[in-house]
Amino acid sequence: MTLRYGFLGPEGTFAHAAARRLAGVESGDVVLVPLPGVTQAIDAVRAGAVDGALVPLENSVEGGVPATLDELVADPPLIITAEVFLPVVFDLLVRPGAELINVKTLATHPHAEAQVRRYLMTELPTAAVTMVSSTAGGAKLVADGEFDAAVAPPIAGELYGLEAAAHDIADRPGAVTRFVLLTPPSSPPPATGNDRTSLVTFLSENRSGALIELLSELSTRGVNLTRLESRPTKASLGEYCFFIDCEGHIADQRVGDALAALHRVCADVRYLGSYPRTDGEQGPVLEGRSDEAFVDAAHWLAAIRSDGTS
């Protein structure tokens, strides 16, 4: 069966470049569907119009992507089944033959503008910058003659017949965006030994030590965090939920036990998926936290409860 995955379109966006790296795209088992925004891509999954949506979750310069984070705590729930890390390279794209000195109007996406702001202030201080829904959309507008230039990925220049008046113009070179594939909830894939588990936790009450209590449930079981970010719950000012990424798979005893403990002490815990990690290798499991150690401890406790012997 051919799967359909939505992404922030049109073709030529960073999301499109990342989506092309997903398993099944090259073989034709996955068809990519451009959609006008992150929220629309996620809504399409919930409506059953597509099987999944590849959306940006975080950027090494700008941090978390609010639209994605907010949707991860909305209903109906979705889970992460894959991730893609994409190096972010911005070009200043113009129509063939155009010169930098003649750029008076420029179109780009707000996240892109934030990462090239100092370049634009230095090289194009008088250019009028307009925010559009996607970097590729800005490139298309340049090709259509509506703007003089766009800040967009090189792939957009290739697709829309534009030239790079300047290449790799980011204020901080080497930026990376992490994309995640969201799908309806399903059974987790088998553990690979190098996995990541994502979740959102809601504190039971705002009191001294509440966050430390939450984190200690992970720490004492040797579960290493790869990301921790707070977001407003939108219920009232000062109330936050916490997005957590950690090493390991829900099938790992230490990870499953930690999530069960969080369920006991938190007002709510939303499981967001366990999936292969693609940005490095999982660290060693601490002594006494392996699956075998958890099984041995359970047998030891059961024997005591049965006949009092240890």
The CATH number of the domain holding residue 14 is: 3.40.190.10
Residue range 268-283: mean pLDDT, rounded: 94
Final residue in a domain of this structure, among 152, 186, 220: 186
* pLDDT for the residue numbered 205: 82
* pLDDT for the residue numbered 5: 98
Question: Does 244 share its domain with 181?
Answer: no
Question: Does 19 share its domain with 129?
Answer: no
Residue length of the chain: 310
In a domain, 172, yes or no: no
In a domain, 147, yes or no: yes
Question: Does 133 share its domain with 181?
Answer: no
Question: Does 100 share its domain with 210?
Answer: no
* pLDDT for the residue numbered 189: 92
Tell me the pLDDT tens digit for each residue of 211-230: 999 999 999 999 999 999 99
Question: Does 8 share its domain with 140?
Answer: no
Q: Does the predicted TM-score (pTM) go above 0.85?
A: yes
Question: Does 157 share its domain with 109?
Answer: yes
* pLDDT for the residue numbered 310: 75
Domain extent for 139? 91-166
Average pLDDT, the chain: 94
Tell me the pLDDT tens digit for each residue of 89-142: 999 999 999 999 999 999 999 889 989 999 999 999 999 999 998 899 999 999
In a domain, 55, yes or no: yes
| Antiparallel, parallel or unpaired: β 91-94 and 163-166 | antiparallel
The CATH number of the domain holding residue 269 is: 3.30.70.260
- Give the DSSP H/E element, type plus range, for residue 151: strand 149-152
Question: Does 42 share its domain with 182?
Answer: yes
Question: Does 245 share its domain with 293?
Answer: yes
83/275 Cα distance (integer angstroms)? 8
Question: Does 238 share its domain with 306?
Answer: yes
Residue 248 has pLDDT above 80, yes or no: yes
Burial class (CB in 10 A: 0-12, 13-18, 19+), 209: exposed
In a domain, 252, yes or no: yes
CB neighbourhood size of 238 (10 A): 8
How many domains does one find in the chain? 3
Residue 20 has pLDDT above 80, yes or no: yes
* pLDDT for the residue numbered 207: 81
111/129 Cα distance (integer angstroms)? 13
* pLDDT for the residue numbered 102: 92
214/220 Cα distance (integer angstroms)? 11
- Give the DSSP H/E element, type plus range, for residue 41: helix 38-47
Question: Does 236 share its domain with 309?
Answer: yes
Q: Which SS3 state, helix, strand or coil, does residue 291 take?
A: helix
In a domain, 261, yes or no: yes
Tell me the pLDDT tens digit for each residue of 183-209: 999 999 999 999 999 999 999 888 888
Q: Of the candidates 244, 229, 281, which has an alpha carbon nearest to the alpha carbon of residue 64?
A: 229
- Better-scored residue on pLDDT, 129 or 11: 129
In a domain, 171, yes or no: no
In a domain, 268, yes or no: yes
Tokens standing for residue 85 = 């890390």
Q: Which SS3 state, helix, strand or coil, does residue 113 take?
A: helix
Work out the pLDDT band at 62, boundaries 50, 70, 90: confident
